[in-house]
Amino acid sequence: MSAVRGIARNGARQPTLAQLRAFAAVAEQLHFRDAAIDLGMSQPALSGAVSALEEVLGVRLLERTTRKVLLTPAGARLAARARTVLEAVGAFLEEAEAARAPFTGTLRFGVIPTVAPYLLPAVLRLVRDRYPELELQVHEEQTASLLHGLGRGRLDLLLLAVPLGAPGVTELPLFDEDFVLVTPREHPLADRSGIPREALRDVDLLLLDEGHCLRDQALDICREAGREDGARAATSAAGLSTLVQLVAGGLGVTLLPRTALRVETGRSTRLATGCFADPAPSRRIALAMRSGAARREEFEAFADALREALTELPVRILPGPAPAPALAPPPAGA
C-alpha cells in the first residue's frame, strides 16, 4: 500500500487498462494489424496506446521492424503480468454484474456453426420469454476461437460439442444426438435403416473444412468403422448447407447431426437419408463456462431451462447435475 500511496503523492502516471489491453493483444498476436482487429480498434490507436505504456513505464516492451514485432525480454515478463491484471479486472467486473441481479445485463454467448442455425431459435425464444432483462450477444465461431474467447474473458458462455478437454472449463451437458447419413436419392444406402458403421468404409464421404469440430467427429466415426483414410473425396465445404448441396449434386455422402436434418435436407428433392444401426454414432452438445465463474449458478439455471426448451428436438435430453445434499442439522446440545 505504501508504494501505491508513494506513486500517488509523487503524481507519477500509471498505466491504463486500455494500454494494458493493447499491449497484451500485441504480445499475443505479435502483429499490430491482427491485434487491432482482435480489439476492434484502429491500428494507429493501438500503436499509440502501446507507445504510451512504454513511456509511462520507462521500459521498451517491443522491437518493431517493418515486417514483424518481437517482445523484448522485459516485454515478455510484463506481458504475463498484464494478462494477470486484465483477467483479475474481468473477474472483478463479472462478480459485480452477477451481484447486481441474475439474468440481467449482458451475456456474451458463443456458439459453433454446426449448432447455431438449429438451436439458436430455441435459445432466443427462451431468453425473450423467461429472461427479458438479459441482453444476449451471439458470436458464431469455431471451437478453438470460442475457447480462446472464453479464456480471455471476451465470451461468457458457450454452446458447442463436447468433450473439450480444456483446462479451466466446466461443461454442462444438454443432450446427445445421433448422426444420420445423407445421400443422393439414387444411392444404394438411400432410405435404409440399420446401416452398419462399416458401410462408411466404401463411400465417398464429404467433410467440412479443417477447424470444424464436426469434421473431427466424422473422422473419428470413420476410424471406429475401420477406415483410416478419412474422406476419399478431395472436396470439402465451409458450412453444412454447402456440404448438403454437394451431396445433392452426386459428389458423395455426408454425416449430419439430426438437429440439422430438417433444415438442410428440406431444400432439395434429390436427397435421401439413412439411419445407422444402434448404437448410432452421436455427438454431445453442452454449455461451457469458465470453472469458478461468478455467474455459475445463473449459468446452471440457464442450462436447466434450456434442456426444457429443447425437448421438442429429435435429441436425448441429459439430466442436470444432482443438487447438493442438504447439510445435516447439528446434534442437539451442540
What CATH number is associated with residue 43?
Answer: 1.10.10.10
Asked which of 65, 97, 129 is the last residue of a domain, the reply is 97
Residues above pLDDT 70, as percent of the chain: 89
State the total domains in the chain: 2
Burial class (CB in 10 A: 0-12, 13-18, 19+), 114: buried
pTM: predicted TM-score of the whole model, two decimal places: 0.71
Distance separating alpha carbons of residues 268 and 272, to the nearest angstrom: 9
Determine contact, residues 299/289, Cβ cutoff 8 Å: yes
**Which domain covers residue 154, as residue numbers?**
103-320
Three cell numbers at 323? Answer: 443438487
Cα-flanking dihedrals φ and ψ of residue 300, to 5°?
A: -65, -40
Distance separating alpha carbons of residues 174 and 160, to the nearest angstrom: 10
- DSSP symbol at 202: G
- Asked if 163 and 254 sit in the same domain, the reply is yes
Distance separating alpha carbons of residues 147 and 157, to the nearest angstrom: 10
Asked which of 63, 97, 131 is the last residue of a domain, the reply is 97
pLDDT bin (cut points 50, 70, 90) of residue 331 is low
pLDDT score at 220: 86
Three cell numbers at 41? Answer: 480498434
Crossing angle for the helix pair 17-29 and 73-100, to the nearest 10 degrees: 120
Q: Is the pLDDT of residue 155 over 80?
A: yes
Radius of gyration of the chain (CA): 25
Determine contact, residues 93/154, Cβ cutoff 8 Å: no
Residue 3 forms part of a structural domain = no
245-271 pLDDT tens trace: 999 999 999 999 999 999 999 888 899
The CATH number linked to 201 is: 3.40.190.290
